[in-house]
Amino acid sequence: MREHELLFLGLMQDGPKHGYQLKKLMQEISATFTGIKTDSVYYPLKRMLKGGLVTQKQAKEGRRPKKYVYAITEKGKNEFKKLLSKNLFAVERPYFSIDLSLYFLNFIPEELRNRYLRIRLKLLNRLKKSLHTLKNALPVDSASGHFAILEHNQELLQAEIKFISRLALQFSAILVRK
84/111 same-domain check: no
110/165 same-domain check: yes
26/54 same-domain check: yes
CATH classification at residue 26:
1.10.10.10
pLDDT for 51-69, tens place per residue? 999 999 988 777 878 889 9
74/146 same-domain check: no
78/53 same-domain check: yes
82/110 same-domain check: no
172/109 same-domain check: yes
Give pLDDT, residue 51: 96
Q: What is the percentage of the chain residues whose pLDDT exceeds 90?
A: 48
Overall number of domains in the chain: 2
> What is this structure's pTM?
0.73
**pLDDT greater than 70 at residue 4:** yes
Give pLDDT, residue 25: 85
d(CA 64, CA 58): 12
Mean pLDDT of 15-28: 88
Question: What is the 3-state secondary structure of the chain?
Answer: CHHHHHHHHHHCCCCCEEHHHHHHHHHHHHHHCCCCCCCCCHHHHHHHHHCCCEEEEEECCCCCCCEEEEEECHHHHHHHHHHHHHHHHCCCCCCCCHHHHHHCHHHCCHHHHHHHHHHHHHHHHHHHHHHHHHHHHCCCCCCHHHHHHHHHHHHHHHHHHHHHHHHHHHHHHHHHHC
pLDDT for 102-159, tens place per residue? 999 989 998 899 899 999 999 999 999 998 988 888 877 666 788 888 889 999 999 9
13/52 same-domain check: yes
Give pLDDT, residue 176: 56
84/104 same-domain check: no
pLDDT for 23-52, tens place per residue? 888 887 776 666 677 777 888 899 999 999
82/121 same-domain check: no
**Residue 104: which domain range?**
98-177
Gyration radius (Cα) of the chain, Å: 22
109/48 same-domain check: no
